[in-house]
A and B are shown apart, each in its own frame.
Chain A
Amino acid sequence: MNTESLGTIFLNAALVNNFVLAYFLGICPFLGVSGAVKTASKMGMAVMFVMVISSMCAFGIHTFLAAINAPYLQLISYIVVIASTVQLVEMFIKKMSPSLFRSLGIFLPLITTNCAILGVALFQTNKGYGFIESVVYALGAGAGFTLALLLIAGLREQLNFADVPQISKGTALTLFIAGILSLCFMGFAGLGAQ
Protein backbone atom coordinates (compact mmCIF):
# COMPACT_ATOMS: atom_id res chain seq x y z
CA MET A 1 0.00 0.00 0.00
CA ASN A 2 1.06 3.57 -0.44
CA THR A 3 0.81 6.58 1.80
CA GLU A 4 -0.23 9.26 -0.69
CA SER A 5 -3.01 11.55 0.46
CA LEU A 6 -6.23 11.71 -1.57
CA GLY A 7 -5.52 15.28 -2.69
CA THR A 8 -2.11 14.27 -4.00
CA ILE A 9 -3.63 11.41 -5.96
CA PHE A 10 -6.18 13.75 -7.53
CA LEU A 11 -3.63 16.44 -8.45
CA ASN A 12 -1.23 13.83 -9.71
CA ALA A 13 -3.77 12.27 -12.07
CA ALA A 14 -5.26 15.56 -13.24
CA LEU A 15 -2.22 17.79 -13.71
CA VAL A 16 1.24 16.35 -13.07
CA ASN A 17 0.71 13.12 -14.99
CA ASN A 18 -2.13 14.34 -17.17
CA PHE A 19 -3.50 11.32 -19.00
CA VAL A 20 -3.57 12.95 -22.40
CA LEU A 21 -0.49 15.15 -22.36
CA ALA A 22 1.93 13.05 -20.31
CA TYR A 23 0.74 9.45 -20.76
CA PHE A 24 -0.69 9.81 -24.27
CA LEU A 25 -3.89 8.00 -23.35
CA GLY A 26 -7.10 8.86 -25.13
CA ILE A 27 -5.44 10.58 -28.07
CA CYS A 28 -8.11 9.45 -30.56
CA PRO A 29 -11.03 11.42 -29.07
CA PHE A 30 -8.52 14.15 -28.21
CA LEU A 31 -7.84 14.65 -31.92
CA GLY A 32 -11.33 13.68 -33.07
CA VAL A 33 -13.84 15.58 -30.92
CA SER A 34 -11.79 18.63 -30.06
CA GLY A 35 -13.25 20.80 -32.83
CA ALA A 36 -15.68 22.78 -30.67
CA VAL A 37 -15.64 23.64 -26.95
CA LYS A 38 -19.28 22.67 -26.44
CA THR A 39 -18.98 19.10 -27.71
CA ALA A 40 -15.62 18.72 -26.02
CA SER A 41 -16.99 19.55 -22.57
CA LYS A 42 -19.85 17.05 -22.89
CA MET A 43 -17.52 14.39 -24.20
CA GLY A 44 -15.26 15.04 -21.24
CA MET A 45 -18.17 14.57 -18.82
CA ALA A 46 -19.22 11.29 -20.47
CA VAL A 47 -15.67 9.96 -20.32
CA MET A 48 -15.31 10.98 -16.68
CA PHE A 49 -18.55 9.20 -15.77
CA VAL A 50 -17.51 5.98 -17.51
CA MET A 51 -14.09 6.24 -15.86
CA VAL A 52 -15.49 6.43 -12.34
CA ILE A 53 -17.98 3.58 -12.85
CA SER A 54 -15.47 1.29 -14.52
CA SER A 55 -12.84 2.12 -11.92
CA MET A 56 -15.24 1.00 -9.15
CA CYS A 57 -16.04 -2.21 -11.05
CA ALA A 58 -12.37 -2.80 -11.79
CA PHE A 59 -11.59 -2.65 -8.07
CA GLY A 60 -14.24 -5.29 -7.37
CA ILE A 61 -13.07 -7.50 -10.21
CA HIS A 62 -9.46 -7.26 -9.14
CA THR A 63 -10.32 -8.32 -5.59
CA PHE A 64 -12.42 -11.20 -6.88
CA LEU A 65 -9.81 -12.41 -9.38
CA ALA A 66 -7.11 -12.23 -6.73
CA ALA A 67 -9.33 -14.37 -4.48
CA ILE A 68 -9.87 -17.08 -7.10
CA ASN A 69 -6.25 -16.75 -8.25
CA ALA A 70 -6.92 -16.05 -11.94
CA PRO A 71 -5.02 -12.85 -12.82
CA TYR A 72 -4.91 -13.78 -16.52
CA LEU A 73 -8.63 -12.98 -16.78
CA GLN A 74 -8.04 -9.40 -15.64
CA LEU A 75 -7.74 -7.72 -19.03
CA ILE A 76 -10.72 -9.54 -20.56
CA SER A 77 -13.06 -8.82 -17.65
CA TYR A 78 -12.02 -5.15 -17.48
CA ILE A 79 -12.81 -4.60 -21.12
CA VAL A 80 -16.20 -6.31 -20.80
CA VAL A 81 -17.12 -4.05 -17.87
CA ILE A 82 -16.06 -0.94 -19.77
CA ALA A 83 -17.99 -1.97 -22.87
CA SER A 84 -21.18 -2.52 -20.87
CA THR A 85 -20.81 0.78 -19.00
CA VAL A 86 -20.44 2.62 -22.28
CA GLN A 87 -23.55 0.88 -23.58
CA LEU A 88 -25.42 2.05 -20.46
CA VAL A 89 -24.25 5.65 -20.86
CA GLU A 90 -25.19 5.55 -24.52
CA MET A 91 -28.77 4.45 -23.75
CA PHE A 92 -29.02 7.04 -20.97
CA ILE A 93 -27.87 9.95 -23.17
CA LYS A 94 -30.08 8.81 -26.05
CA LYS A 95 -33.09 8.93 -23.73
CA MET A 96 -32.20 12.15 -21.89
CA SER A 97 -30.82 14.31 -24.67
CA PRO A 98 -31.19 13.16 -28.30
CA SER A 99 -29.45 16.30 -29.59
CA LEU A 100 -26.33 15.61 -27.53
CA PHE A 101 -26.50 12.01 -28.71
CA ARG A 102 -26.35 13.16 -32.32
CA SER A 103 -23.54 15.65 -31.78
CA LEU A 104 -21.29 13.07 -30.13
CA GLY A 105 -22.05 10.61 -32.92
CA ILE A 106 -19.61 7.77 -33.51
CA PHE A 107 -17.34 8.94 -30.71
CA LEU A 108 -19.81 7.82 -28.05
CA PRO A 109 -19.50 4.06 -28.69
CA LEU A 110 -15.81 4.65 -29.32
CA ILE A 111 -15.37 5.56 -25.64
CA THR A 112 -15.01 1.78 -25.26
CA THR A 113 -11.73 1.94 -27.13
CA ASN A 114 -10.58 5.05 -25.28
CA CYS A 115 -7.31 3.88 -23.80
CA ALA A 116 -7.58 6.39 -20.96
CA ILE A 117 -10.41 4.40 -19.37
CA LEU A 118 -8.67 1.04 -19.54
CA GLY A 119 -5.54 2.92 -18.48
CA VAL A 120 -7.19 4.12 -15.26
CA ALA A 121 -8.33 0.57 -14.46
CA LEU A 122 -4.88 -0.90 -15.10
CA PHE A 123 -2.85 1.80 -13.36
CA GLN A 124 -4.95 1.75 -10.20
CA THR A 125 -4.44 -2.03 -10.02
CA ASN A 126 -0.70 -1.65 -10.58
CA LYS A 127 -0.42 1.02 -7.91
CA GLY A 128 -2.41 -1.05 -5.41
CA TYR A 129 -4.99 1.64 -4.64
CA GLY A 130 -7.90 0.93 -2.27
CA PHE A 131 -11.52 1.64 -3.15
CA ILE A 132 -11.69 5.34 -2.18
CA GLU A 133 -8.26 6.01 -3.67
CA SER A 134 -9.33 4.36 -6.93
CA VAL A 135 -12.41 6.54 -7.23
CA VAL A 136 -10.42 9.70 -6.52
CA TYR A 137 -7.81 8.61 -9.05
CA ALA A 138 -10.51 8.07 -11.68
CA LEU A 139 -12.06 11.47 -10.91
CA GLY A 140 -8.68 13.14 -11.26
CA ALA A 141 -7.93 11.38 -14.51
CA GLY A 142 -11.36 12.34 -15.87
CA ALA A 143 -10.89 15.96 -14.81
CA GLY A 144 -7.46 16.02 -16.46
CA PHE A 145 -8.86 14.55 -19.66
CA THR A 146 -11.70 17.11 -19.75
CA LEU A 147 -9.26 19.94 -19.07
CA ALA A 148 -6.92 18.91 -21.88
CA LEU A 149 -9.84 18.44 -24.27
CA LEU A 150 -11.28 21.88 -23.42
CA LEU A 151 -7.91 23.62 -23.79
CA ILE A 152 -7.20 22.14 -27.19
CA ALA A 153 -10.78 22.74 -28.38
CA GLY A 154 -10.53 26.42 -27.43
CA LEU A 155 -7.22 26.76 -29.22
CA ARG A 156 -8.54 25.03 -32.32
CA GLU A 157 -11.59 27.30 -32.47
CA GLN A 158 -9.22 30.28 -32.58
CA LEU A 159 -6.94 28.61 -35.10
CA ASN A 160 -9.74 28.38 -37.64
CA PHE A 161 -9.11 32.06 -38.27
CA ALA A 162 -5.34 31.85 -38.34
CA ASP A 163 -3.40 32.13 -41.55
CA VAL A 164 -1.16 29.06 -41.66
CA PRO A 165 0.58 27.36 -44.60
CA GLN A 166 -1.67 24.97 -46.49
CA ILE A 167 0.43 21.86 -45.77
CA SER A 168 0.28 22.26 -41.99
CA LYS A 169 -3.52 22.43 -41.79
CA GLY A 170 -5.34 19.66 -39.96
CA THR A 171 -3.75 16.97 -37.83
CA ALA A 172 -0.17 18.22 -38.12
CA LEU A 173 -1.05 21.62 -36.65
CA THR A 174 -3.15 20.08 -33.86
CA LEU A 175 -0.22 17.87 -32.93
CA PHE A 176 2.15 20.85 -32.75
CA ILE A 177 -0.25 22.63 -30.40
CA ALA A 178 -0.64 19.47 -28.33
CA GLY A 179 3.14 19.32 -28.05
CA ILE A 180 3.33 22.90 -26.77
CA LEU A 181 0.48 22.22 -24.31
CA SER A 182 2.34 19.15 -23.13
CA LEU A 183 5.42 21.32 -22.49
CA CYS A 184 3.26 23.73 -20.47
CA PHE A 185 1.98 20.88 -18.32
CA MET A 186 5.59 19.97 -17.53
CA GLY A 187 5.48 23.06 -15.34
CA PHE A 188 3.23 21.18 -12.92
CA ALA A 189 5.95 18.60 -12.24
CA GLY A 190 6.76 18.39 -8.56
CA LEU A 191 3.36 19.76 -7.54
CA GLY A 192 1.96 17.85 -4.60
CA ALA A 193 5.19 15.95 -3.98
CA GLN A 194 6.10 16.59 -0.38
Chain B
Amino acid sequence: MSRETTSSVPKATTTDEFIKGLWRENPVFVQVLGMCPVLAVSNTAENALAMGLATAFVLLMSNILVSLLRDFIPKQVRIASYILIIATFVTVTDYAIQAISVELYKSLGAFISLIVVNCLILSRAEAFASKNTVWKSTLDALGMGAGFTFALFCLGAVREILGNGSIFEWALFPEGFQNWIVMILPAGGFFTLAGWLLIINVIQTRKVKS
Protein backbone atom coordinates (compact mmCIF):
# COMPACT_ATOMS: atom_id res chain seq x y z
CA MET B 1 0.00 0.00 0.00
CA SER B 2 2.83 2.42 0.77
CA ARG B 3 4.18 2.06 -2.77
CA GLU B 4 0.87 3.17 -4.23
CA THR B 5 0.85 6.36 -2.24
CA THR B 6 4.43 7.34 -3.10
CA SER B 7 4.24 6.65 -6.86
CA SER B 8 0.81 8.15 -7.09
CA VAL B 9 1.55 11.71 -8.11
CA PRO B 10 1.62 11.28 -11.90
CA LYS B 11 -1.26 8.77 -12.07
CA ALA B 12 -3.98 10.41 -10.01
CA THR B 13 -6.72 8.13 -11.34
CA THR B 14 -5.29 4.91 -9.82
CA THR B 15 -4.88 6.32 -6.33
CA ASP B 16 -8.24 7.90 -6.64
CA GLU B 17 -9.80 4.43 -6.59
CA PHE B 18 -8.12 3.91 -3.22
CA ILE B 19 -8.73 7.32 -1.69
CA LYS B 20 -12.42 7.58 -2.56
CA GLY B 21 -13.34 4.72 -0.20
CA LEU B 22 -11.74 6.47 2.73
CA TRP B 23 -13.75 9.64 2.72
CA ARG B 24 -15.68 10.83 -0.35
CA GLU B 25 -17.54 7.54 -0.84
CA ASN B 26 -17.01 6.11 2.63
CA PRO B 27 -19.20 2.98 2.74
CA VAL B 28 -20.63 3.64 6.19
CA PHE B 29 -20.83 7.41 6.58
CA VAL B 30 -21.77 8.35 3.02
CA GLN B 31 -23.27 5.29 1.31
CA VAL B 32 -24.85 3.88 4.52
CA LEU B 33 -24.13 0.29 3.46
CA GLY B 34 -23.40 -2.76 5.59
CA MET B 35 -25.11 -1.32 8.65
CA CYS B 36 -25.82 -4.54 10.53
CA PRO B 37 -22.27 -5.43 11.61
CA VAL B 38 -21.47 -1.73 12.02
CA LEU B 39 -24.07 -1.35 14.74
CA ALA B 40 -23.88 -4.82 16.25
CA VAL B 41 -20.21 -5.39 16.98
CA SER B 42 -19.03 -1.83 17.56
CA ASN B 43 -19.51 -1.99 21.33
CA THR B 44 -15.74 -2.02 21.96
CA ALA B 45 -12.86 -0.68 19.90
CA GLU B 46 -11.21 -4.11 19.73
CA ASN B 47 -14.29 -5.90 18.37
CA ALA B 48 -14.86 -3.12 15.86
CA LEU B 49 -11.30 -3.32 14.57
CA ALA B 50 -11.39 -7.12 14.25
CA MET B 51 -14.71 -7.05 12.43
CA GLY B 52 -13.48 -4.30 10.11
CA LEU B 53 -10.35 -6.25 9.19
CA ALA B 54 -12.30 -9.49 8.61
CA THR B 55 -14.74 -7.69 6.31
CA ALA B 56 -11.91 -5.93 4.48
CA PHE B 57 -10.21 -9.28 3.85
CA VAL B 58 -13.36 -10.87 2.42
CA LEU B 59 -13.99 -7.76 0.35
CA LEU B 60 -10.47 -7.82 -1.09
CA MET B 61 -10.47 -11.52 -1.97
CA SER B 62 -13.96 -11.50 -3.48
CA ASN B 63 -13.26 -8.36 -5.49
CA ILE B 64 -10.10 -9.94 -6.94
CA LEU B 65 -11.84 -13.21 -7.83
CA VAL B 66 -14.96 -11.55 -9.26
CA SER B 67 -12.80 -9.28 -11.36
CA LEU B 68 -10.72 -12.25 -12.63
CA LEU B 69 -13.85 -14.18 -13.55
CA ARG B 70 -15.81 -11.24 -14.91
CA ASP B 71 -15.68 -12.51 -18.51
CA PHE B 72 -16.71 -16.07 -17.61
CA ILE B 73 -19.74 -15.52 -15.37
CA PRO B 74 -23.02 -15.43 -17.36
CA LYS B 75 -25.04 -12.32 -16.67
CA GLN B 76 -28.19 -14.14 -15.51
CA VAL B 77 -26.53 -16.00 -12.64
CA ARG B 78 -24.02 -13.36 -11.64
CA ILE B 79 -25.53 -12.45 -8.25
CA ALA B 80 -25.71 -16.11 -7.22
CA SER B 81 -22.09 -16.64 -8.32
CA TYR B 82 -20.92 -13.57 -6.40
CA ILE B 83 -22.67 -14.76 -3.26
CA LEU B 84 -21.06 -18.19 -3.58
CA ILE B 85 -17.61 -16.61 -3.97
CA ILE B 86 -18.24 -14.39 -0.95
CA ALA B 87 -19.59 -17.29 1.14
CA THR B 88 -16.45 -19.33 0.40
CA PHE B 89 -14.13 -16.61 1.68
CA VAL B 90 -16.33 -15.96 4.71
CA THR B 91 -16.08 -19.64 5.65
CA VAL B 92 -12.29 -19.37 5.36
CA THR B 93 -12.28 -16.26 7.58
CA ASP B 94 -14.63 -17.89 10.07
CA TYR B 95 -12.31 -20.87 10.57
CA ALA B 96 -9.20 -18.65 10.58
CA ILE B 97 -10.53 -16.43 13.39
CA GLN B 98 -11.57 -19.52 15.35
CA ALA B 99 -7.99 -20.79 15.05
CA ILE B 100 -6.35 -17.48 15.97
CA SER B 101 -8.39 -16.46 19.00
CA VAL B 102 -11.33 -18.36 20.48
CA GLU B 103 -12.10 -15.41 22.75
CA LEU B 104 -12.49 -13.03 19.83
CA TYR B 105 -14.53 -15.63 17.95
CA LYS B 106 -16.95 -15.84 20.87
CA SER B 107 -17.40 -12.08 21.19
CA LEU B 108 -18.06 -11.62 17.46
CA GLY B 109 -20.38 -14.64 17.42
CA ALA B 110 -22.59 -15.21 14.41
CA PHE B 111 -21.61 -11.87 12.93
CA ILE B 112 -18.58 -13.37 11.19
CA SER B 113 -20.86 -15.70 9.22
CA LEU B 114 -23.16 -12.79 8.56
CA ILE B 115 -20.41 -11.03 6.56
CA VAL B 116 -21.89 -13.03 3.66
CA VAL B 117 -24.94 -10.81 3.59
CA ASN B 118 -23.06 -7.55 4.06
CA CYS B 119 -24.50 -5.37 1.30
CA LEU B 120 -21.20 -3.51 0.98
CA ILE B 121 -19.32 -6.55 -0.39
CA LEU B 122 -22.02 -7.55 -2.86
CA SER B 123 -22.46 -3.98 -4.06
CA ARG B 124 -18.72 -3.58 -4.71
CA ALA B 125 -18.68 -6.87 -6.63
CA GLU B 126 -21.67 -5.85 -8.71
CA ALA B 127 -20.92 -2.15 -9.18
CA PHE B 128 -17.15 -2.20 -9.49
CA ALA B 129 -15.29 -5.51 -9.71
CA SER B 130 -17.52 -6.94 -12.46
CA LYS B 131 -16.61 -4.04 -14.75
CA ASN B 132 -12.98 -3.22 -13.95
CA THR B 133 -9.51 -4.74 -14.14
CA VAL B 134 -8.01 -6.79 -11.31
CA TRP B 135 -5.57 -4.06 -10.31
CA LYS B 136 -8.27 -1.39 -10.07
CA SER B 137 -10.61 -3.73 -8.19
CA THR B 138 -7.86 -4.52 -5.70
CA LEU B 139 -7.33 -0.82 -5.02
CA ASP B 140 -11.05 -0.26 -4.75
CA ALA B 141 -11.40 -3.11 -2.25
CA LEU B 142 -8.44 -1.85 -0.20
CA GLY B 143 -9.90 1.64 -0.08
CA MET B 144 -13.42 0.55 0.76
CA GLY B 145 -12.11 -1.95 3.32
CA ALA B 146 -9.98 0.72 4.97
CA GLY B 147 -12.90 3.16 4.96
CA PHE B 148 -15.18 0.54 6.51
CA THR B 149 -12.64 -0.36 9.20
CA PHE B 150 -12.06 3.33 9.93
CA ALA B 151 -15.80 3.97 10.33
CA LEU B 152 -16.25 0.91 12.55
CA PHE B 153 -13.33 2.02 14.70
CA CYS B 154 -14.79 5.54 15.05
CA LEU B 155 -18.03 4.05 16.35
CA GLY B 156 -16.39 1.41 18.53
CA ALA B 157 -13.99 3.89 20.14
CA VAL B 158 -16.75 6.38 21.02
CA ARG B 159 -18.96 3.64 22.45
CA GLU B 160 -16.17 2.10 24.51
CA ILE B 161 -14.89 5.43 25.84
CA LEU B 162 -18.32 6.66 26.93
CA GLY B 163 -19.88 3.34 27.89
CA ASN B 164 -16.94 1.69 29.59
CA GLY B 165 -14.61 4.59 30.36
CA SER B 166 -11.77 2.81 28.58
CA ILE B 167 -10.10 2.30 25.23
CA PHE B 168 -8.74 -1.15 24.27
CA GLU B 169 -9.65 -2.14 27.85
CA TRP B 170 -7.23 0.48 29.20
CA ALA B 171 -8.98 2.77 31.69
CA LEU B 172 -9.10 6.43 30.69
CA PHE B 173 -10.94 8.22 33.44
CA PRO B 174 -10.38 8.57 37.22
CA GLU B 175 -12.40 6.50 39.71
CA GLY B 176 -15.50 8.69 39.92
CA PHE B 177 -16.46 8.42 36.22
CA GLN B 178 -20.04 7.32 35.74
CA ASN B 179 -20.26 4.99 32.72
CA TRP B 180 -22.92 5.77 30.15
CA ILE B 181 -24.46 2.30 30.15
CA VAL B 182 -26.75 3.23 27.28
CA MET B 183 -23.76 3.39 24.93
CA ILE B 184 -23.01 -0.32 25.38
CA LEU B 185 -26.67 -1.24 24.85
CA PRO B 186 -28.06 -1.66 21.31
CA ALA B 187 -29.62 1.82 21.46
CA GLY B 188 -26.14 3.31 21.89
CA GLY B 189 -25.17 1.97 18.48
CA PHE B 190 -28.02 3.83 16.82
CA PHE B 191 -27.30 7.03 18.73
CA THR B 192 -23.55 7.00 18.03
CA LEU B 193 -24.00 6.40 14.30
CA ALA B 194 -26.66 9.12 14.14
CA GLY B 195 -24.25 11.46 15.92
CA TRP B 196 -21.44 10.77 13.43
CA LEU B 197 -23.82 11.30 10.51
CA LEU B 198 -24.84 14.65 11.99
CA ILE B 199 -21.20 15.73 12.29
CA ILE B 200 -20.51 14.71 8.69
CA ASN B 201 -23.62 16.55 7.49
CA VAL B 202 -22.42 19.71 9.24
CA ILE B 203 -18.96 19.43 7.65
CA GLN B 204 -20.44 18.87 4.22
CA THR B 205 -22.94 21.74 4.36
CA ARG B 206 -20.10 24.02 5.45
CA LYS B 207 -18.02 22.90 2.48
CA VAL B 208 -20.86 23.62 0.07
CA LYS B 209 -21.39 27.09 1.53
CA SER B 210 -17.73 28.10 1.27
Q: Are the CB atoms of B40 and A76 closer together than 8 Å?
A: no
User: B110: CB under 8 A from chain A?
Assistant: yes
Q: Are B91 and A75 in contact (CB under 8 A)?
A: yes
Q: Separation in Å of the B98 CB from the closest CB of chain A?
A: 11
Closest to B205 in A: A167
- Determine if B36 and A26 form an interchain contact, defined as CB atoms under 8 angstroms apart: yes
- CA A78 – CA B94 in complex, angstroms? 15
**Chain B residues within 8 Å of A115, by CB:** 36, 114, 117-118
Residue of A nearest to B35 (CB): A27
Interface size on B, residues (CB 8 A): 40
Scan residues 83-140 of chain A and give those whose CB is less than 8 A from a CB of chain B. Answer: 83, 109-110, 112-115, 118-119, 122-123, 126
Does A14 belong to the interface (CB within 8 Å)?
no
Tell me whether A182 and B186 are in contact (CB under 8 A): yes
Smallest distance from the beta carbon of A76 to chain B beta carbons, Å? 5
Tell whether, in the assembled complex, residue A171 and residue B39 are in contact, meaning their CB atoms are under 8 Å apart.
no
Interface size on A, residues (CB 8 A): 40
**Are A76 and B91 neighbours in the complex by a CB distance under 8 Å?**
yes
Q: Name the CB-closest residue of B to A73.
A: B91
- Is the pair B190, A178 in contact by a Cβ cutoff of 8 Å? yes
Known: A76-B88, A76-B91, A80-B84. A123 touches B197 (CB 8 A): no
Q: A79 at interface (Cβ–Cβ under 8 A)?
A: yes
One of A5-13, A16-24, A34-42, A47-55 at the interface: A16-24
> B83–A112 contact, CB under 8 A?
yes
Cβ contacts under 8 Å, B12 to chain A: none
Majority secondary structure, B binding face: helix
Q: Which residues of A contact B32 (CB under 8 A)?
A: 31, 171
CA distance A176 to B88 in the complex (A): 36
Chain B residues lying within 8 Å of A122, measured Cβ to Cβ, are 110, 113-114
Count, A-B residue pairs, CB within 8 A? 112
Cβ distance A88 to chain B, nearest Cβ, rounded Å: 14
CA gap between A21 and B110 in the complex, in Å: 17
Q: State whether A118 touches B114 (Cβ < 8 A).
A: yes
Pick the most buried of B116, B118, B190, B194: most chain A CB atoms within 10 A of its CB.
Answer: B190
Contacts of A150 in B (CB 8 A): none
A161 at interface, CB cutoff 8 A: no
Contact A76 B87 (CB under 8 A): yes
For window 132-182 of chain B, which residues contact chain A by CB distance below 8 Å? 182
| In the complex, chain A residues whose CB is within 8 Å of the CB of B39 | 24, 27
With contact pairs A83-B80, A122-B113, A171-B197 given, residues A180 and B187 touching in the complex (Cβ less than 8 Å) = yes
Is B113 within 8 A of A28, CB to CB? no
Interface centre among A27, A122, A168, A180 (most CB of B within 10 A): A27
Complex CA–CA separation, A119 to B39 (angstroms): 15
Is the CB–CB distance between A24 and B189 below 8 Å? Answer: yes
A175/B187 contact (C-beta < 8 A), A75-B87, A75-B90, A166-B205 known: no
Chain A residues with Cβ below 8 Å from B35 are: 24, 27-28, 31
How many Å lie between the Cα of A80 and that of B95 in the bound state? 20
Q: Are A79 and B194 in contact (CB under 8 A)?
A: no
Flag whether B193 is at the interface (Cβ < 8 A): yes
Interface residues of A (CB under 8 A from B): 21-28, 31, 72, 75-76, 79-80, 83, 109-110, 112-115, 118-119, 122-123, 126, 166-168, 171-173, 175-176, 178-180, 182-183, 186
Q: Identify 18 residue pairs between A and B in the complex whose beta-carbon atoms are under 8 Å apart, listed by A's number.
A: A25-B114, A28-B33, A28-B35, A31-B35, A75-B116, A76-B91, A79-B83, A80-B80, A83-B79, A110-B119, A112-B79, A112-B117, A118-B114, A167-B198, A171-B197, A175-B197, A179-B194, A186-B185
A75-B87, A171-B32 are known; give 8 further A-B pairs, CB within 8 A: A80-B84, A110-B119, A113-B117, A113-B118, A168-B198, A172-B194, A179-B190, A179-B194
